[in-house]
Structure 1
Amino acid sequence: MPGMPGMPGADTLPPPGISSYLNWHPEPFFLAATIVATGMYLFGVLRLRQRGDAWQISRTASFLAGMLIFLGITCTGLNEYGMYLFSAHMVQHMMLSMVDPLFLLLGAPITLALRVLHPAGPGRTGPREVLLALLHSRFAKVVSSPLFTLPLFVVSLYGLYFTSLFDFLMKSRVGHDFMLVHFLFVGLLFFWPVMGVDPAPHRSPFVIRILELFAVMPFHAFFGIAIMMSNSLFESVFANPPSSWGLTALSDQNTAGSIAWAFGEAPTIIVLLVLFVQWAKSDQREAKRKDRKADRDGDAELNEYNEYLAGLAQRNPGPAA
């Protein structure tokens, strides 16, 4: 089977490098998924424009960038070397769980679907009603809660690489592809309630979201450092790289650890910047909402507060001069 120690699959590949990683090598499942997802998104944008509704170009660009990243991770030589090199596999893991979800979520695909899909009508159930029911379901509330997403993110690191589960999944291409889907799924679930623009059943205040983001950083950093500094091999599946590649399994494992450690820093900074921008825009929207309310009711809230203060002054007059 490909990917097992001593098997000839790796010997058919040239030494790893940027050009080898970028070679076009489509995986049918991932290529089909990319085409379908991109086509559905662009169709939705086109439908909105035909109705005269606006859709932010930045959202479309972000989603397309996310799909391009997904294609580059799964349908190039990087996916081939991910079966034989720990460092290549770790690039796939980090990109799919820490980077690609940011672009996809900022594309707001759920919001787009809700705007494009028409209500089915009284007493009927259509795709829009099913999507809304799912968003409001108990299942969605559970999987979007930090009590679920934080442990899932941590277990996906330690429970996979520090047990025999990784070697078991790497026995076949199907197992490897399953891991890639899992990495993307975990990243989407974790970042959706934190910085996604789509509606979510559980969305904490901005301060709590920032704390959620920082909560996983120590676990992620320790994971990368543990792999980077180890003097023994974690995964037997990567134990025998071809001698023509000019590297050892231990040096490649150390590289994989440094990749994991580095990817914990940069995406966190990006998410923090996005959160601060969203926070500022939220405050601006709230201020505008209050201004519009004041214009409609003649600033009744302020007048009521002033009357309250005046009443207090009458009941508690100050000392006579």
Structure 2
Amino acid sequence: MPSINQSIFQPEVFFLTGIPDFETHHAWISIPFCCLYAIAISGNGMILFVIITESSFHEPMYYFLSMLSFTDLGLCLSTLVTMLGIFWFNAQEISFDACIGQMFFIHCFMFMESSVLLAMAFDRFIAICNPLRYAMILTNSRIIKVGLAIVIRGTTALVPLLVLLKRLSFCHSHVLHQSYCFHPDVMKLSCTDTKINSAFGLAIVISTAGLDSVLILLSYALIIHSLLSIASPEQQKKAFGTCVSHVSAVSMFYIPMISFSLVHRFGKHAPPFVHTLIANVYLLIPPVMNPILYSVKTKQICKAIFKVFLSKLI
């Protein structure tokens, strides 16, 4: 009887899902995913390496870029094992504790990335609207404090959410409809009341990603107002050019998140593989695209990467 109760209230394993109706093609489907993971890991790793090793990049803007690359790497590695495990070895089982752990890292790095994008928006605001005080405001000590605040904010927000999740009872199907553990999907499998979990989860999303997106929009509204009222057309073009990469990174983070939420909520009649495919791709878009965007749009990064490659060849 104790073992039965334990299996009801705290399941030993969950079952992750590959691409429904395409199970026989998982080996082929894994090829584009492997390419995306390789691009994301090598691209972000290269940017981190260049910023750490090149003293010319020891500036606030590049420190924040290194934080973005670090969170992108964390986001990739959080889903890599289970996703490729399903595609290569049909390893669909994941223990309850491992699922909680993966969920913690996925959501933590998502919240951290949102915070880093906000910090980068503040960096652009200071650089454009108050350039004379840029070095005085964004000192190394303050950047370190911002980095610590980002980590603490991302981790502390999740601890009570996961504690509440572990108290739930799971007596329905233990099959998750993604290739990784995502809080809303795990919560839906519970057979107990999840109103507190839902409310707390919504409050966390609003107070992190929701608040960050509003502050980022406010930052750019102030930047645009400052440029239109002061700068010449040439200065405006140059200043906006420094923001292109960041605006693209913000779009690559929030648009897939909103799209996934809409499909998850309103696309109930769509084929099952659509939900799973979008879920698998949406966490990979920012880590893949960010290093490409910053390498293409930032000449200094591009030159440094070529320098590293040439030195290796020589």
TM-score by length of 1: 0.36
Structure of larger gyration radius: 1
Higher relative contact order (CA 8 A, sep 6+): 2
Please identify which structure carries the higher helix content. Answer: 2
